[in-house]
Amino acid sequence: MTIQQYSEHGELRDPEKAQLENCGPEGRPEDESKCHNRPNAEASGDDDAQDGGLASSTALSSTHSIDSPPDGGLMAWSMCICAHVLMANTWGVMNSFGIFQAYYTDYFEISASKISWIGSVQSFLGFFLSIVSGRMSDAGHFRPTLVIGTALMLLGAFAMSFSTQYWQLMLSQGVAFGLGVGFLCCPMMSVASTYFSKRRSLAVGIITSGNVTGGLIYPAMARQLLPSVGFPWASRAIALMQTVTMVIVLVVAKPRVKPYKTGPMVDLSTLKELEFSWYALGGFFAYSGTFTALYYMPQFSRDGINPEFSYQDSLNILLVFNGLSVFGRIIPARLADTFGPVNLVIITTFAGGICCLGWIGVHSPGGMYAWTAIYAVVGGALLALFPAGVVSLTTDVRKAGMRLGIAFAFLAFSMLAGPPVAGAIIESAGGRYAGAQVFAGMSLVLGSLLMFGAKVARRRETGEGWTDKI
């Protein structure tokens, strides 16, 4: 039964608003007969129940006010831009590891499989540490995680420029840089996403398209500087660019919601949610296939087509991929606000698997460029939509960092199971790529099926329809 209250002019008033207006400071009623929360409270003389009900109502109203995101405005879009710049400096560089893969293979005369371990360790740490940094950010330590991550990332970037041996590159580019990325990406992505609600998928798409920005700027710098000034100074120029832009991020970025300080560092009960577990496991296989293609595209263009590309031309493949993947990141992200990121990532992941299987038929420069353009769209969509899907499956935004961290931990192990395994397959096949291409394609197909399993689990739990937004 609803209690209706009227103003002195006879107008119908909102019950909760009227209740708050009739109450005095600290939630105590000025007139006990006017301040009640349930029908029989006054009749029973249950003053404690009245006060408790009012406190609960006030708390709910306050929580709604605090948790309601601006969904736009100067600070929200500033955070979105900061996160975009951070992603350019971290995953934009790491997703372009193919430029170093090809260069190191020639310079150090080491097998492609061994070189790929540098990128895999880098990516593993970048994902796996998210399970710690995401929870630290949720607990109110957002700024310390940014400072630590920036220091480690820049240490690795500058130390890389002085490296002359394989183990030095592993420590600088692989370990130090990867540790820095692990402290940076998850906190920034989770905090920036709390500024948005209806536009959240679009915002995450803009954030992750920082990979595109970095993937265009840094390979282009390497393409021009490596032949002219050499590896050391090319690396220092990249590190200097990262330093200047990260200072801006550190000054502007700040969290919006109150810290979530209670609870364990890692809430493993999250894994009991079948939709989350299936989704994260699907991400493991999907990223294994995606990064296999990313790492070996430039090398394949030099070994697997006729006529073969030069080292300089092989870098164009990464530039084409990173440039065109912006369409796969922004357009599907915009559609995800209408149809749901999980629904779309299932489709794009399956399409990526079919595309990788089609990679087997590429034998010419024209075919290589055409295939790269198609794969850029579907691969870019996967990389943008997967984290948006994790946020979509999160009901409490205060736990977004922790849940992203757990999902990214699954992706971390995909870095160890993807490119190195593909490299071993290529070596065992005498330099032929067909086995690695099948491995990448089937990993993506399996990933899409597991993500579909997450949708089935969600549907059974909530009764949602097949076409409902998720």
The total number of structural domains in the chain stands at 2
CATH of the domain at 264: 1.20.1250.20
Tens of pLDDT, residue by residue over 296-337, are 998 899 888 988 888 778 888 888 998 898 888 888 888 888
What CA–CA distances, in Å, run from 50 to 60, 61, 63, 323, 341?
15, 17, 20, 61, 43
- 132, pLDDT greater than 80: yes
- Structural contact between residues 349 and 282, judged by C-beta atoms closer than 8 angstroms: yes
Residue 467 in domain:
no
- 3, pLDDT greater than 80: no
Residue 307, preceding peptide bond in cis (omega within 30° of 0)? yes
Lowest-confidence region among 3-17, 116-130, 350-364, 437-451 = 3-17
Q: Is residue 283 domain-shared with residue 302, that is, in the same domain?
A: yes
Residue 136 in domain:
yes
**pLDDT band, very low/low/confident/very high, at 128 (cuts 50, 70, 90):** very high
Q: Is residue 44 domain-shared with residue 156, that is, in the same domain?
A: no
Residue 258 has a pLDDT of 80
Distance CA 439, CA 13 (A): 64
Residue 469 in domain:
no
Q: Between the CA atoms of 76, 77, 83 and 84, what dihedral angle is there, to the nearest 10 degrees?
A: 160
Domain extent, residue 28, equals: 5-64
Residue 468 in domain:
no
Residue 106 in domain:
yes
Q: Is residue 33 domain-shared with residue 180, that is, in the same domain?
A: no
- 56, pLDDT greater than 80: no
Lowest-confidence region among 54-58, 121-125, 290-294, 305-309 = 54-58
* Residue range 111-119: mean pLDDT, rounded: 84
* Residue range 252-279: mean pLDDT, rounded: 82
Q: Is residue 22 domain-shared with residue 84, that is, in the same domain?
A: no
Q: Is residue 93 domain-shared with residue 23, that is, in the same domain?
A: no
Residue 7 has a pLDDT of 42
Q: Is residue 27 domain-shared with residue 126, that is, in the same domain?
A: no
- As a whole number, the mean pLDDT across the chain is 82
* Residue range 236-253: mean pLDDT, rounded: 95
Q: Is residue 33 domain-shared with residue 87, that is, in the same domain?
A: no
Tens of pLDDT, residue by residue over 134-152, are 888 888 899 999 999 999 9
**Of 27, 43, 64, the domain-final residue:** 64
* Residue range 435-449: mean pLDDT, rounded: 96
**pLDDT band, very low/low/confident/very high, at 263 (cuts 50, 70, 90):** low
Secondary structure element (H or E) that encloses residue 122, with its range? helix 112-128
**Of 34, 64, 94, the domain-final residue:** 64
Q: Is residue 259 domain-shared with residue 405, that is, in the same domain?
A: yes
**pLDDT band, very low/low/confident/very high, at 262 (cuts 50, 70, 90):** low
Tens of pLDDT, residue by residue over 165-175, are 999 999 999 99
**Of 64, 86, 101, the domain-final residue:** 64
Q: Is residue 60 domain-shared with residue 73, that is, in the same domain?
A: no
Q: Is residue 301 domain-shared with residue 269, that is, in the same domain?
A: yes
Q: Is residue 28 domain-shared with residue 168, that is, in the same domain?
A: no
Q: Is residue 428 domain-shared with residue 374, that is, in the same domain?
A: yes
Residue 194 in domain:
yes
